[in-house]
Structure 1
Amino acid sequence: MSDAQQPSEFDATTAVDEFEPVDVFPSSEDMDLRPGADNCYKCTSCDTSCPVAEVNEDFPGPKFQGPEQWRLKRHEDVDIDDSIMSCSNCMRCDDACPSSVPLSQMHNTARGEYVEKHMDKLSVEYLRNRMLANYRTMATLGTKVPRLANFVMGLDITSYLGDKLMGIPSERDMPEFATETFRQWWKQRGGSKVSNPDKQVAYFHGCYSNFNTTEVGKAMVRVYEEFGYEVLVPKQQCSGTPMFANGMLDDARREAEVNVRELGAAIENGAEVIASCTSCSMALRQEYPELFDIDGIDELAAHTWESLEFLRVNEDLEAKLSEAEIDSQAFAYHAPCHARNQGIDHQAIELFRELDGATIEDVGDSCSGISGTYGWKSEKYETSMKIGAEMFDHMEHAEGDVGMTECPTCSMQMNHGTGYEIRHPLELLEEALL
């Protein structure tokens, strides 16, 4: 080709400047996820990272559940596929996608549309899912008479009827309610023992640390006070995580409005929001601004931290631990999926590996399989246990026979699959520092 035939740099630039993209798909008044869907180039990274697709060959995977389904809906009037209810909402697909397609946002939106338009509101499945999604309501009632509630839930006949009538697997042991909730303890204690307007944190304890594992909430308070923080415990509702997973978006929005308002008031006064559950911090940070348009929601997302993460960033936690020691203990640590999505999946390993007396071993990157309410459904129980099998195996071959994780439902699955005692990193931190 001669020099005269070669395209000049000027010609190429002019061609780029003159190019005008064509909007192929019509816009919609509903939530428009088309730009995210168009970012997908079908590399299938999301499908290969999906723990449900790995063990269930009938599940079409995140790529179909997200971008392909939304592309179809832009072309023609199609219904949401019912397989969306088999997604566990582990959100691993978000972390796997190299194109930043908002997969979990698509899945949550699709689940909400499916439940709203296509699920029979009188069916056992819907009523069961609604009960699981609104665990806070059941737990509020249970903690009114905790000993009686624990006794009744522990009966074989209760497990049998729960399975046959409501589709809650009889293999699972219902978590016991605390005889004193965290908020009752907090009130009896008289609030924070530290008064420091320059160092304040607002604790989002979530449902499980309030109604069940109150020792986690107490450890959080004592550890933060050790570093000179005044702990606030604002009024709060459920984070909404189990509601997202079950397509109950109206319920989740109702809870979110309270949390944004109450936690937002603390932020305005200079506090940062701390969550001890990685699913709760994930909801406040990512799912709220993705799904809801509520005044103050972006500020809440920007000021929310996971409990260990905040201390590692703002205090010399490693130096404090280097001077501490505990009685010799070995732990098998599992990083929750929702911790991985926030980039904090190795923090407990990094934090405690230099603690004198502690041996902590990462049991791998497999999902625990329970995914909140997912493993509490009879039709999903076998799938959840297949997903968790690799984690169980790694735990049983680890040096320690005590598990560790930041996620309360992961801790249920770890205990269920191995029989190990499970602790939260905050509890070990309390033991080492106090």
Structure 2
Amino acid sequence: MTRHTADDDERGESNGTGAADRTTSDVDGNGPAERPATDGGVESATGGSDSMELDPDAYDPVDVFPGGDLDLREGADSCYKCTSCDTSCPVAEVDDEFPGPKFQGPEQWRLKRKDDHDIDESIMSCSNCMRCDDACPSSVPLSQMHNEARGQFVEEQMEKLSVEYVRNRILANYRTSARLASMFPKTASFAMNFGPVRWAMEKTMGIPKERDFPEFATETFREWWKARGGAQVQNPDKRVAYFHGCYSNYNTPEVGKAMVRVYEHFGYEVMVPPQGCSGTPMFANGMLKDARRHAETNVENLVEAIGEGADVIASCTSCSMSLRQEYPELFDIHGIEDLSEHTFEALEYLRIHEDLDGELAGSSLADEQSFAYHAPCHARNQGLDRQAVETFRDVDGVNMEDVGDSCSGISGTYGWKEEKYEKSMAIGEEMFEHMEAAEGDVGMTECPTCAMQMEHGTGYEIKHPLQLLEETVVA
């Protein structure tokens, strides 16, 4: 796994060196390696084009592009225009005006090295699903290029008083809105889904009235954690630091509770450090300064837990992707590589360190249940797309059916924008059809926004694999 990092916040733009290789799920313990960029050229040592003898010592390097810490020349040069990224892009499939990942990545990177060239505004139509990373046979750092270009566009070209900017800033900082709503959860849940309010939000902010806002929990996960007295298992030899993220804290604390109970069942001491947002919605909206602010908090507190012998686990695959890949690609923060190396998705970690097959071999559910499982795009990018199906396939009373490799379409905040709503639903159509054709009428996924889309498109109840694991090994 190769990554290059830099501090893009101090420069006000992203301009520097990046990763050529992507994150995978083969957790082999090897640390990241640096690959030098290949930038520059040579002048004739004699000054003539017909020279027969050249003195290599007289060659002077020529910087073709402006220098900087985040020089993605090597990754851009690896692109040989096979268009695998374009054909895998769910947005390009439904949006004829979207130029696709190849343009948004290496082609735009070359263009934006010229001082007189602006970032194309179509970069804001990229949903940040990162499927292009997984599709590229040359390990071009496509999503890193997209994130940097999007950040530069928002910072330098987007009107800060525009409705689009204000709307995107609110969506990107969901944690702030959720924290306020959780003070009066029942009132907030009612108000956010009240018809006239939804109509007004679409007209004034461009948030589609068709979307149902998720309900806010009457007791957040962190409130529950504090009320129970924290960890119930003390084990300095088996410790994990839980990165619950925003959604499991404010909207679905049952996922966090299931995670805690399952891990304690296996003898782990669970730590819940102070934390901010993972930054995923901020990356998708080009709010890199906001993302860095949260990243600094997360790196500081999670690295402290790592120093106490813990590995970091996340129940959301977008959160684990952010900590593992996007942080070290975009930020130069002390300890960030340690956090990347010690971060895992929750079910993935148990499959690595525990005998889940043996634990589940004699288990069964009292009532048979059938699930339509969807692997999130960010799970696929980490090589985790089959983990839930493989984990539960031999459990008596469980029928787990994979509904295919299509994107759900919501991609975080993408599907929460009025101008993107119809495209979001068109992307998700294949998944909806496969879910409805599956035997079960309960959906399953590790991503909270994919769960929103699955429920929105089918009406099915959606569960997290950790909730099913709790039913099988803890109950």
Q: TM-score range by the shorter chain?
A: over 0.9
Q: 2-side partners of 1:162 and 1:420: how far apart?
A: 26
Does the Cα contact within 8 Å between 1:369 and 1:387 map onto a contact in 2? yes
2:144 corresponds to which residue? 105
Matches of 1:68 and 1:262, distance apart in 2 = 38
Q: Secondary structure at the match of 2:113?
A: helix
Any idea what SS the aligned residue of 1:29 has?
coil
Per the TM alignment, residue 153 of structure 1 is displaced from its structure 2 partner at its CA by: 1.2
2:402 counterpart of 1:345: no
Number of the residue aligned with 2:288: 249
Identity %: 72
Equivalent residue number for residue 279 of structure 2: 240
Residue number in structure 1 paired with 2:443: 403
TM (norm. structure 2) is: 0.86
Equivalent in the alignment of 2:33: none
Which of 188, 208, 228 aligns to 1:169? It is 208
SS of the equivalent of 1:203 reads: strand
**Distance in 1, Cα, partners of 2:250 & 2:60:** 54
Q: Distance in 2 between matches of 1:64 and 1:111?
A: 13
1:25 and 1:75 in contact (8 A); partners too: no
Q: Deviations over 1:353-385 (max 9, x none)?
A: 001100000000000000000000000000100
Aligned counterparts, 1:9-408, within 5 A: 25-29=64-68, 31-75=70-114, 77-326=116-365, 327-408=367-448
Taking the aligned partners of 1:316 and 1:26, their CA distance within structure 2 comes to 52
Higher percent of residues as helix: 1
Q: CA deviation at 1:22?
A: 7.4
Deviation sequence 1:122-153 (CA, Å, 0-9, x none): 01110000000000000000000111111111
Tell me which amino acid in the other structure corresponds to 2:251: N
Query: Displacement of 1:76 after TM fit?
Result: 5.6
Amino acid at match of 1:159: R
The 1:323/1:21 distance shift into structure 2, 3 A limit, reads farther
Take 2:307 and 2:420, find their aligned partners in 1: how far apart are those partners? 43
Cα deviation, residue 318, structure 1: 1.0
Count of aligned pairs = 417
What is the aligned counterpart of 1:420 among 440, 460, 468? 460
1:73 shift after superposition: 2.5
Deviation at 1:24, TM superposition (A): 6.7
* Unaligned stretches of 5+ residues in structure 2: 1-55
Give distance in 2, aligned partners of 1:32 and 1:320. 48
SS in 1 for 2:329: helix
**1:23 CA displacement:** 6.0
How much is the aligned-residue C-alpha RMSD, in angstroms?
A: 1.4
Secondary structure of the residue that 1:187 maps to in structure 2? helix
Q: Alpha carbons of 1:119 and 1:76: their partners in 2 closer, same or farther (altered >3 Å)?
A: closer
What are structure 1's unaligned runs of at least 5 residues? 1-17
How far did residue 77 of structure 1 move?
Answer: 2.2
One-letter code of the match for 2:437?
H
TM-score, scaled relative to structure 1: 0.94
Shift of 1:29: 2.6
Q: What SS does structure 1 have at the residue aligned with 2:419?
A: helix
Letter in 2 for 1:88: S
Shift of 1:28: 2.0
For the residues of structure 1 that align with 2:393 and 2:224, how far apart are their CA atoms?
Answer: 32
